[in-house]
Chain A
Amino acid sequence: MKYLCLVYSNENALHDLPDSPHDSECQAYAESLHASGRMLAAEALQPVQSATTVRSRNGKVSLTDGPFAETKEQLAGFYLIEANDLDEAIEVAAGIPAARVGSVEVRPTRELATDAPFQAARTADS
């Protein structure tokens, strides 16, 4: 199964706590996941003030400055991993260095339904 591990933390404190991880530690953890074959993708994110929220309604695109929702803890990065089950995914999440100062939400991904008409349309497009 694929799981997305969303790393949340208070941005202002993320780097200043006694337990705060250094980039080198995060890098090393990502590499160890690669080596174990569990890593699909991982990135750290710029602070939320760099965020732009996009909506498309009736073909019209609107933009807002900032994140989708103002929260006490912000999305700081993510890992997309491959794991056999939730226990394995939890083990990976618990090892993420930022879990010491923030929280990691573990979510299984969902297979999109592949109903025939939509597939046909897609084939026609390509």
Chain B
Amino acid sequence: MTSIDRDVRQTIDAVYREHSRQVLATLIRLLRDFELAEEALHDAFTAAMAQWPRDGIPANPRAWLVSTGRFRAIDRLRRRARFDSSLAEIAYQLELECSTETVDDTSVADDALRLIFTCCHPALPLDGQVAMTLREVCGLTTEEVARAFLTSPSTLAQRIVRAKAKIRDAGIPYHLPEPDALIERLDGVLRVIYLVFNEGYSASFGDTLIRTDMSCEAIRLGRLLYDLLPEPEVAGLLALMLLQESRRDARTTPTGELILLHEQERTLWNRELIDEGSSLVERALSSRRFGPYALQAAIAAVHAEAPSAEATDWEQIIGLYDVLMRITPSPVVALNRAVAIAMRDGPGVGLSLIDALMAGGELGDYHLAHAARADLYRRQGRLEHARESYRQALSLVQQGPERRFLERRLTELEHG
């Protein structure tokens, strides 16, 4: 390989990293078929490897790849039409469109957004939405996605095949939702991104380090979506993820044990992520069209900006929980609000709030409700009650690091 070849090769690699998802998104729109578009993307890069070293790198590599991929796809359809005559008509139709449709930069941005909304279409099962988003929008391999979700590649491949079949057979469109449906559909997209984030975030306590990649993918998706659709809730979700991510290094010990927020070493928090998250929160809140993600991010930002646990502005946090309760009331939000009130007004007040919530019949099976009660009893010095509540929390907890945390607390009380 000559040094020129090597340079071209490196350029092609860089173009692939930067543009392959955009080229794919445009090809899906032009060809109206996921499989065909994926084959076309592959063909286009194969052609680039053959032609660019000889002819030089085109002025607009992305447009070159789209147009090459498109013609190769039409060729493929023609070859297959010998066995399936219905494809000839499709190939002819696609060829006609070549002369009328051009690919400019605005349509490319819209294509990326279309791809996200199609992959997160609510008519697809949630696990299919997640798999399609990571595979098609983020460009992860089936094996990578399978590893992140602790399933086998064949199970994951099945999910993707089924999702693609449903998109094709049920006529799930490859377009942006109408403006009046956009915000509602956006909720579904945000949910998928946050689910991907949490898969990386909550799994990062030691068990499988590889899964932290999912948090980075989710943040990348959040940035992409915010770029394409700067809605307040998109800013809110991106901010929430950045602020949670900023504490990654502080929230576990080197051996993977959980460290609670008020005991974390705050110098380990990533200031750059906090600053970016906080300014996104401000932008979202000032829009006055913010929702639950922006509010949760705002709460995270108040914590992030407190120089120490003692200096936390609980008044502001309680105010934010009040608003959150008004727009998305839930027992878990009420529990968090009660814990914040306990920080301001003392453990007794918090306990009676939590007891009232639990008397309402919900939260009985929620381990963190019992853990919160245990902590408040501990702070009151009512150690027998605290031990009892930790035991109840332990009987309900699922996750390894949380279990070990509760066990440690219980042991401290039993020996301390």
Contact = CB atoms under 8 A, between A and B. Distances in A.
A76 B205 CA distance: 52
B177 interface: yes
Contacts of A86: 121, 123, 170-173
A13 interface: no
B169 interface: yes
B119 to A, nearest CB: 14
Interface string B136-179: 00000000000000000000000000000000011111010110
A108 interface: yes
A40 to B, nearest CB: 15
Nearest to A3: B171
Nearest to B177: A87
B170 A108 contact: yes
B169 A85 contact: no
B123 A1 contact: no
A87 B173 contact: yes
Interface in A76-111: 83-87, 89-90, 106, 108, 110
Contacts of A1: 171
A113 to B, nearest CB: 10
Interface in B311-325: none
Contacts of B181: 87
Of the four ranges (under 10, 10 to 19, 20 to 34, 35 or more), the interface on chain A belongs to: 10 to 19
Interface in B226-261: none
Q: Determine which residue in A83, A86, A110 has the highest number of CB atoms from chain B within 10 A of its CB, and name it.
A: A86
B123 A108 contact: no
Nearest to B178: A87
Nearest to B166: A86
Contact of A89 (B121, B171, B177, B178): B171
B173 A85 contact: yes
B173 A108 contact: no
B34 to A, nearest CB: 15
Contacts of A3: 171
A22 B252 CA distance: 61
Contacts of A83: 171
B134 to A, nearest CB: 22
Contacts of B121: 86
B173 A84 contact: yes
A66 B121 CA distance: 37
A107 to B, nearest CB: 8
A19 B171 CA distance: 31
A108 B177 contact: no
Q: Determine which residue in B123, B170, B177 has the highest number of CB atoms from chain A within 10 A of its CB, and name it.
A: B170
Interface in B171-217: 171-173, 175, 177-178, 181
Interface string A12-35: 000000000000000000000000
Nearest to A85: B173
A106 B169 CA distance: 12
Q: Determine which residue in B169, B170, B171 has the highest number of CB atoms from chain A within 10 A of its CB, and name it.
A: B171
A23 B173 CA distance: 33
Contacts of A110: 169
A87 B171 CA distance: 8
Nearest to A106: B170
A86 B171 CA distance: 5
Contacts of B175: 85, 87
A46 B173 CA distance: 35
Contacts of A85: 171-173, 175
Interface in A49-94: 83-87, 89-90
Contacts of B177: 87
Interface in B116-136: 121, 123
Contacts of B172: 85-87
Contacts of A87: 172-173, 175, 177-178, 181
A84 to B, nearest CB: 7
Interface string B289-317: 00000000000000000000000000000
Interface of B: 121, 123, 169-173, 175, 177-178, 181
Per CB-CB distance, the 7 closest pairs between chain A and chain B, nearest first, are A85-B173, A85-B171, A86-B171, A1-B171, A86-B172, A86-B170, A108-B170
21 contacts: A1-B171, A83-B171, A84-B171, A84-B173, A85-B171, A85-B172, A85-B175, A86-B121, A86-B123, A86-B170, A86-B171, A86-B172, A86-B173, A87-B172, A87-B173, A87-B177, A89-B171, A90-B123, A106-B170, A108-B169, A108-B171
Given A86-B123, A108-B171, 11 more contacts: A84-B171, A84-B173, A85-B171, A86-B170, A86-B171, A87-B173, A87-B175, A87-B181, A89-B171, A106-B170, A108-B169
